[in-house]
Structure 1
Amino acid sequence: MPLQPWMKLISVDDHLIEHPKVWQDRLPAKYREAGPRIVETPRDGLPAIQSWLYEGRAYPYIGLNAVAGKKPEEYGIEPVRYDEMIAGCYDPKARIVDMDIDGIEAAMCFPSFPRFCGTVFLEAEDKELALLCVRAYNDFVLDEWCAAAPGRLIPLVMLPLWDPQRAVEEIHRTAAKGAKAITFPDLPHALGLPSVHDDYWDPVLSAAEETGMPLCQHFGSGGENSLKTLAPDAPFAVMITLMGTNSMQATTDWLFSSVLHRHPKLKIGLSEGGVGWIPYILERADNTWRKHRHYQNINRTVPPSELFKKHIHGCFIEDDFGVENRHVIGVDRITWECDYPHSDSFWPGSRKRAEEALANVPDEEAHKIVELNARRLYNLPADKPELAATTG
């Protein structure tokens, strides 16, 4: 059946393409040459390539990052120029128009050039500049992107992952300005950072608890090493298909770490990983826990499935198996995403696709999945128009 008109779709995983002046408008003058800026590289007989240049390194856009409005036959991995994208990719006012076309009330957007959780800045040589770049991005999100449509665009901020104390400061600074969530690597150890089993992250997790902001772990945010076992000659389709296994590994790390016992209020969002695999992982984790907890340094009183129900939620674009098994997962643990402007998105038919996916789901449960769970998990008020801080 159609989704009821009073159900407002909230996407917990969309993406924005940073416009060329995000950092040039916000960095101190002495850093602008080294800071992120767009450059043009001429090509014989073809349009020039537009790339981000940062500390002398070039980062071209990838076609799959901005394909909204194109047919699958037109997808590719070639660099894309701004004038080849629809404006909703980088213009927040145009994004709202595209959301209205798609029947979407609100959306939380991950970064593009800095990667899903800001790892471009983690790799930077000048960490003072990198910290300024992180703050500049967050100010752009809070003061420009989300402020363009309070209540429609949900503020998601990044952290200086290389410095827990600075990360804590940034959590509190951005929370005071209206941030609602934190983008965080799904597999930190794959980036050369301490894993979630390490107490390195304790100050960061405590700050997330204190501010009520979930950690959002987009699959693939752990970088290339997270899928390093792939055959070197495998087609790109193999990587795309297996990206969800990153979310499976991230979930298992959390469930067997001591972190969730030390941080009882921590909330974790798994972005774009789907939900159909969750029943299997929880069953497997509980079976492992029952048989192997007595000789390992893991909690011996709380089964992993109980921790999942308290701390973790997943989201889906299309996952018919997951929807059919929603009661095993827990209806309260499932949210919905659009993924605009990436290739998994159904824009401009996202609401129609959601209706198809939830056709056999009772209204009460469908309402939770497309709207109410996101409001609860991300502290989004139902009775107030403002989800984001405005400037001034």
Structure 2
Amino acid sequence: RLKDMDLDGVWGQLLFPNFARFAGHRFYPNVEDQELALACIRAYNDHLLEEWCALAPDRLFGAAILPLHDMDAAVAEFERVVAGGARAIAFSENPTVLGLPSIHTDYWDPLFAAAQEARIPLCTHIGSSSRLVSTSDDAPVTVQVTLLGVNSMMAAADWLLGNVFDRFTSLKVILSEGGVGWIPYIVERADKVWHDHRIDYDPVLGRMFHKPEQPPSINFREHMYACLVDERFALASLDNLPVDNILFEGDFPHGDGLWPNNRRYLEKVLADVPDDVATKIAGTTLAGLLQTG
């Protein structure tokens, strides 16, 4: 891995689960042997932190997985992996698809409180709900791949129009691999909805919904980050993007990535971008989120 990073001109990487799935949900919630499932989660995290990241702790940073179906166990594992050097937590873009409570319930409060206190970001990788948007069951897989960013759009709307950030005022959420070109539209749309719908009654659910205290555009800037892989249009439209919230993602070793040309790509597409902005996108913003310095 380090040789490939050197060849690519990349100093550091945030490592996501793959076999364990992007929110670790291979091991929950519908697993009969819960003791074995927790042991597998702990074994994965131990391998990630003690055998992989430990080889180059200043270059390899781990996103640990948690037993999200059991909040007491999740918080206990959170504390253990953070003590062991985890720099981020893999979280689901839509927990309800996994049979878990939504982020609009208080189920997640202990984990959100722990992440906020430890300054550990939650990373919602596309596909971390095991559901990707498509048009039909028989649509070409290329339709699904083209629409990857829609998952991040939906996750962003969920966070921005809920009340989590009212209660956890320094919690950070990273939308991984979902792109950034959609941000101006969804934030503008969410702001309009926020202004137009102060309090709504949902007759189906039979409950009131109160809008968050701050406009979604402010909550995005204070709490959320999104990742670009290969988006020339987005980079050409930086005036419309919150540049302090944009992270570059190499997506190694997946096919969407540009390895071994990531550095050359960035040098080309960021050539006309102010140096301070280019530096943030290329790494310093993520380095701050991961507390690497």
Query: What TM-score range do you get, normalising by the shorter chain?
Result: over 0.9
What's the secondary structure of 1:327's corresponding residue?
helix
| Letter matched to residue 7 of structure 2 | I
Counterpart of 1:286 in structure 2 is 191
> Which residue matches 2:63?
156
CA distance in 2 between partners of 1:277 and 1:100 (Å): 32
Cα distance, 1:349–1:262 mapped onto 2, change above 3 Å: same
- For 1:20-35, what aligned pairs fall within 5 Å after superposition? none
Superposed displacement of residue 321, structure 1: 2.2
Tell me the CA shift for residue 357 of structure 1.
2.1
Query: What is aligned with 1:134?
Result: 41
Q: 1:364 to 1:216 in 2, by over 3 A?
A: same
> Is the counterpart of residue 205 in structure 1 residue 112 in structure 2?
yes
The residue that corresponds to 2:129 in the other structure is 222
Gaps of 5+ in 1: 1-94, 382-392
Q: Contact 1:317 / 1:337 at 8 angstroms: preserved in 2?
A: yes
Per-residue CA shift, 1:279-322, capped at 9, x if unaligned?
A: 00000000111111233522364111111110000111111222
Is the 2:162–2:212 Cα contact (8 Å) retained in structure 1? Answer: no
Query: Which structure's CA Rg is the greater one?
Result: 1
Contact kept in structure 2, 1:319 and 1:357, CA below 8 Å: no
Match of 2:8 in 1: 102
For 1:187, which of 72, 84, 94 is the aligned residue? 94
Aligned to 1:113: 19
The alignment partner of 1:112 has SS state of coil
Q: Which has the higher contact order (CA 8 A, sep 6+)?
A: 1
The answer for the alignment partner of 1:233 in structure 2 is 138
* Distance in 1, Cα, partners of 2:160 & 2:181: 18
Alpha-carbon contact 1:318-1:357 (below 8 Å) kept: no
- Are 2:240 and 1:334 aligned? no
TM-score, normalised to structure 1, is 0.71
Q: 1:167 aligns with which of 65, 71, 74?
A: 74
Gaps of 5+ in 2: 202-208
Does the CA contact (< 8 Å) of 2:16 and 2:62 recur in 1? no
- Going from structure 1 to structure 2, the CA distance change for 1:290 and 1:131 (only over 3 Å counts) comes to same
> Aligned residue pairs: how many?
285
- In the alignment, the residues of structure 2 paired with residue 152 and residue 295 of structure 1 have an alpha-carbon distance, to the nearest angstrom, of 47
Counterpart contact for 2:163–2:212, Cα < 8 Å:
no
> Contact 1:219–1:272 (CA<8 Å) still a contact in 2?
yes
Equivalent-residue separation in structure 2 for 1:298 and 1:269 (angstroms): 24
Superposition map of 1:42-81 within 5 A: none
- 1:356 shift after superposition: 2.2
Q: Output the CA distance in 1 between the equivalents of 2:159 and 2:82.
A: 24
C-alpha displacement of 1:324: 2.4
State whether residues 215 and 268 of structure 1, in contact with CA within 8 Å, keep that contact through their aligned partners in structure 2.
yes
Deviations 1:70-100 (Å, cap 9, x if unpaired)? Answer: xxxxxxxxxxxxxxxxxxxxxxxxx000000
Indicate the SS of the match to 2:39: helix
* Distance change in 2, residues 1:259/1:380 (3 Å): same
Structure 1 CA distance for aligned equivalents of residues 14 and 94 of structure 2:
21
SS in 2 for 1:269: strand
Query: 2:179 is aligned with what amino acid?
Result: G
C-alpha distance after superposition, 1:194-224 (max 9, x if no partner): 1111111111111111111100000111113
Correspondence 1:267 to 2:179: no
Q: Is residue 82 of structure 2 the alignment partner of residue 146 of structure 1?
A: no
Q: Distance in 1 between matches of 2:136 and 2:212?
A: 38
Distance in 1, matches of 2:262 and 2:198, equals 43
Determine if the alignment matches structure 1 residue 312 to structure 2 residue 233.
no
Letter aligned with residue 84 of structure 2: K
Q: Distance in 1 between matches of 2:215 and 2:6?
A: 43
* SS of 1:252 mapped into structure 2: helix
Q: Are 1:254 and 2:159 counterparts?
A: yes
1:370-385 equivalence runs, <5 A? 370-381=282-293
Deviation, structure 1 residue 355? 1.7
How large is the Cα RMSD of the aligned pairs?
1.3
Instruction: For 2:186 and 2:118, locate their aligned partners in 1 and report how far apart those are by CA, in whole Å.
Output: 30
